[in-house]
Structure 1
C-alpha cells in the first residue's frame, strides 16, 4: 500500500490523528476560475535550498520541464540552488524576497520541515505563510560500503557489537534526524560527520570512501546509488518503509526485497509497540516523508493564480507519460495535489508536542544540539 493511500481510507482516522485532523479541519474551497491566468513569456524561479545533485535537486529538476508543459502560457522554468544552514539559508531568502505573482516557488523538503518544527534559531520562515501546490511522498534506503563485510540487514544487526560507522550528515535536525535516530535506536556505533551541504554531498563522501554508511531518499537512491549496488560497491540494508491505510509501516513497494526499519528494529530490540523511541521515530518519519517534498507559493499569491497552479498540477499527475517517467525517476509514489497536498502539509504542522520534546532531549544528549 503506497503512501498516497494514507489519505484514502476513512478508517485511517482511528490510527493516524496527524493526518485525520488535517482532513477533518480542511477549509472548504469555493471554485475559482483560473482560465484568465497565463504565464506566457514569463520565467518561473524554483528555489531549491540544497546543493545540486541531492534528492530535492533531482526532484525539482525533474518537475521543471513539466511545469513548463502544464502551466498556462508555457513559462520558462529556472532552478536556483541556495544551499546552506541545513536548507534554512534558501528558505529564509525565499521568505524575504519571493514575490506573490506565481513566478516564485520554493522546493521544500524534510530538512526544511524539521528545522522549522524544532524551532531552530536559524529559521526565519513560517509555513503558515506558504501555500502548497504539489507534495511528493517518498521513502528512503540505508546502505553500507561493501568493505563493512555484511550482506544484509540481519548480518548488520548480528554484527552491530563489532562494527563502527561514519555517516556524512548535513545536521542532526535535518532529514538526517530519521536515519540518525534509527541508528541510535538500533544501538549502532555511528560517528556523524556534520557539515554536508545536502544528502548528495553525503553520497559523494560515501563514494570517495570517507564514510561507510549512508542513506538517500528514494529518488536519489534509484538514480545515483542503484548503479553502485549493481557494481557491488554498496550493500542496501533496509528502507524506511511506507505507511499503509491502517497507519502501519509496511515494506516500500519500490524495494520489496528490503526489510523496513520496523522489521530491523524488531530484529535488534524486539516489539516496536513498547518502545517510545520507535514511536517518536515513526512520528518524525511521517512528518518528513508523507509529504517529504513540497512546492510552495507565498500564501499572499492571488487566489486565481494559486488555483491555476493547483489545477495544472492536478492535471499533470494524471498524464500517462508523466506517470511513467515519475515512477522511473522518483519511484512509485503518487504526488499529492489539491486537498491531499493541503492535508499532508497540515500533518507536518500538527506534529505532536510529546515527539518534539523527546527528540529535543535526545538531540541535546546525543549531539549537544541546542535549538
Structure 2
C-alpha cells in the first residue's frame, strides 16, 4: 500500500470543469463529464484546506489502491451556501455508477435536517459508502469557577459558550446544555476550534467543545496541570447504544449526565431528544463518502469490502491514527440504518430546535 500512496501526492483540485464552470450560473446544469478513465471524481462542498477537504484528500488514495481499474480519485471543491451549493450540484448530476462521489460532513447533514429551503438533497435516500466518526468533549477552564457538570445544572449564573455557528456542530453541545437546564449565552463567529479553545484560556468564554484529537493534544495537558476540567463527552455508538469513548474512558457521556438528572422538564426532554438525533450524524458518523440514491448495489458492496480490508490492515491503522482521530472507518451499509433513523426528526423536536436557534441564538434559518 505505501508504495502506491507515496507515488501519489494528495491531489489538488483538477478538471471537473463541467460542474465547476456552472456552479455560479443559474440554473446549474446537470450534465456531468467524467475526468477520465481510471479516475473517480469526488465533490467536496467546502473550500480547500478545511477538515472535510483534508479528510477527503487523505482517505481516497487508500480506496484507489484497492479498486480494480481505478488509478486515483480527483477531488473537486465546490464551496458555497454552507455546503449546500456543491451538494445540490452533485445530486443534480445524478451519477449512480460510482464514477462520481460526494464527501459530506456534519454541517451538510444539518442543513437537510433543519429543513433549509435551498436544500435539494436527502441523506435518508442517498447511499453512504464509508463513514468516519469522532468524539468530542465539553470542557472549561478552572478560572471559570466551574468545577463539575453539576455547577451548570439549574445555575442562576449565565455562562458563555464560545463557538463558530449555532446551527453547525455547536448545535450538539448547545442542545446538551439546554437539556441540562444550563444558563448559557452563546458567543459565535469564531473561525475554528483553535480560537474557541483560546477564548476559554483567555477568559473570553467559559465553555468550549473540542473533538477528541484536539482535546487530547491541546486540552488534556491543561487538565493534567490542573488548569482545565472536562465536563462530558459525546461517547461512541456501539451496537446502537451510546457508550464511553475508548479514547476518553474516564469522561462520562452526556447520556450518563442526563440520566443522572432524575426529573426534568418537557423542554429538557425535547432538547435531549434533539441532542440524540443530531449527535449521530454530527459526531458518530461525522465525515463520509457518499453516492446518489439508486447507486448500483455492486458499488456499495465494493466499498463495504474495502472498508473491511482497511480496518484489518495494521499499517493503515497506524498511518491514519491522527487523521482519523483514533476511530476506524465504518461501512456505509452497516451504518445506514442508524444514520437514517437519526434523520427522522419528530416534528415537535424539529420545531423546538429551530425555535431555540432562531429565538435564543439568532440563527438565520430559511
Residue-by-residue CA offset, 1:208-263 (whole Å, 9 max, x unaligned): 65644321333454466556666877543220123454x65432221111122134
TM-score by length of 1: 0.71
When residues 304 and 223 of structure 1 are mapped into structure 2, their CA distance, relative to the original with a 3 A threshold, is farther
SS in 1 for 2:308: helix
When residues 175 and 47 of structure 1 are mapped into structure 2, their CA distance, relative to the original with a 3 A threshold, is same
When residues 348 and 158 of structure 1 are mapped into structure 2, their CA distance, relative to the original with a 3 A threshold, is closer
Instruction: Report whether the alignment pairs 1:312 with 2:306.
Output: yes
Aligned match for 2:354, one of 350, 360, 363: 360
Distance 1:349 1:231 in 2: 41
Residue-by-residue CA offset, 1:78-124 (whole Å, 9 max, x unaligned): 54455543332332343345755534322222222222022112323
Instruction: Report whether the alignment pairs 1:299 with 2:293.
Output: yes
Q: Give the corresponding residue for 1:260.
A: 253
Aligned match for 2:163, one of 168, 190, 196: 168
Return the offset for 1:43: 5.5
Confirm or deny: 8 A CA contact 1:140 1:221 kept in the other structure: yes
Q: How many residues end up aligned between the 2 structures?
A: 325
Higher relative contact order (CA 8 A, sep 6+): 1
Instruction: Report whether the alignment pairs 1:335 with 2:329.
Output: yes
Return the offset for 1:177: 1.6
Instruction: Report whether the alignment pairs 1:106 with 2:102.
Output: yes
Residue-by-residue CA offset, 1:269-328 (whole Å, 9 max, x unaligned): 434698523233223323533433321023355554444334323322222222344455
Q: What CA RMSD, in Å, does the superposition of the two structures yield over aligned residues?
A: 3.7
**Structural mapping, 1:37-186, within 5 Å:** 41-42=38-39, 44-47=41-44, 49=46, 52-54=49-51, 56-57=52-53, 59-73=55-69, 75-97=71-93, 99-100=95-96, 102-127=98-123, 130-145=126-141, 147-150=143-146, 152-154=148-150, 156-157=151-152, 160-162=155-157, 164-172=159-167, 174-186=168-180
Q: Give the corresponding residue for 1:270.
A: 262
Confirm or deny: 8 A CA contact 1:167 1:190 kept in the other structure: no
**Structural mapping, 1:195-274, within 5 Å:** 195=189, 201-207=192-198, 209=202, 211-222=205-216, 226=220, 235-245=229-239, 249-265=242-258, 269-271=261-263
Distance 1:151 1:83 in 2: 41
Distance 1:219 1:326 in 2: 12
Distance 1:288 1:167 in 2: 18
Distance 2:74 2:269 in 1: 44
Greater share of residues in helix: 1
Unaligned runs of 5+ in 1: 1-38
Q: Give the corresponding residue for 2:282.
A: 288
TM-score by length of 2: 0.71
Distance 1:158 1:171 in 2: 21
Confirm or deny: 8 A CA contact 2:91 2:120 kept in the other structure: yes
Mean Cα deviation higher: 176-185 or 124-133: 124-133
When residues 45 and 70 of structure 1 are mapped into structure 2, their CA distance, relative to the original with a 3 A threshold, is same
When residues 48 and 227 of structure 1 are mapped into structure 2, their CA distance, relative to the original with a 3 A threshold, is farther
SS in 2 for 1:330: coil
Unaligned runs of 5+ in 2: 1-35
When residues 91 and 195 of structure 1 are mapped into structure 2, their CA distance, relative to the original with a 3 A threshold, is farther
Return the offset for 1:128: 5.2
Distance 2:264 2:212 in 1: 24
